[in-house]
Amino acid sequence: MSEKLQKVLARSGHGSRRELESIIAAGRVSVNGQVATLGERIDTNAIVRIDGREVNIKQPEDVVCRVLMYHKPEGELCTRRDPEGRPTVYDRLPRMQGARWVAVGRLDVNTSGLLLFTTDGELANRLMHPGHEIEREYSVRVFGEVTDAMMRKLKQGVQLEDGPAAFKEIKRGGGEGMNQWFRVVLTEGRNREVRRLWESQGVQVSRLIRVRYGNIKLEQGLPQSGWGELSLKDINYLRDLVELPEETRTFIDPRQGESRQKRYSRARRINAQKLQQRTPGAKVEEAAPEQRKAPRKNSRRDQQRDQQRDQQREPQREPRNPRGKTPSKGKPSSRSNADKKRKPSGRQRTRS
């Protein structure tokens, strides 16, 4: 049975449907040696290459759906590689063979909070599709005076550059002075939509945290840049939201599952070790094995400097006198000629 190329690649974990469609349209995918076209259908025996590299095609029964909860900090980019070498959310995720993590939506560099990753590209595509109207809840700190009239207007809807937008819910969350906290809910994920909605009312967002996606909440205790794998129950909840069949397999063994405290403490230790590699002066709970080894001195200049230092530490020997006797420290090694003349010889003392 043949299926659409982007659907097969998404199911095999090579990206979301949206990402793969742009890759196919750019001519980077080939099927059986021919450049693929968008919407092309393939069978199970097709040889597919992306950027000239053959990729693995999985059957539906061979794919195990996994979902990670990730606590994104501010400053990390939602991209696989950054030309400027800045940190990305993919740097901290567990490595896999034969599959890769696909992000469910994005958060901009200045936004933190809950970010979901999955190995099922079809699940990611459906969760991001605005037609399913899955709720995203954010905690927002706004700088400026916010009136009840502004809140009603944001809930009714305002016109943005890419069309009308509105909050499904908006509630005050406390705060003092010009900095006020709010809880807002959206059912779509357009670029910087929360920030642009507030800016349309003449105020600025100074802090933005995603705390919920659907019914999946950011767990308390999960450190920034830490991740946790969702249970089979939560995975099937997400699949049911977008009308996908249930998953029956999982990588989590309930009999040997780690407690949250143990899993989160391990995430904190790993994050601290990675911070130590970037900033050598930082303290970590346990140094990595590579960091415990003494640094090797490969430089010839370092070796010469060490030799000179060792020579300076060794005590200097005083020169020996002609008779082979070492004079005592602080006394002259031989008498002067004047002293020899003043002292009578042994024969003169016996005669007197």
**Where are the alpha helices (H) located in 202-319, listed in sequence order?**
232-241, 260-278, 289-292, 300-313
State the pairing for strand pair 204-213/112-118: parallel
Extended beta strands in 85-195, E state? 102-104, 112-118, 136-143, 158-160, 163-165, 169-176, 179-186
Neighbours of 253 (CB within 10 A): 8
As annotated, the active-site residues are 108
List the one residue out of 222, 212, 247, 227 whose CA is nearest residue 120.
Answer: 247
Locus of tokens 């706004």: 142
Contact 141, 175 (CB under 8 A): yes
Backbone angles phi, psi at 136, to 5 degrees: -125, 125
List the one residue out of 205, 203, 207 whose CA is nearest residue 146.
Answer: 203
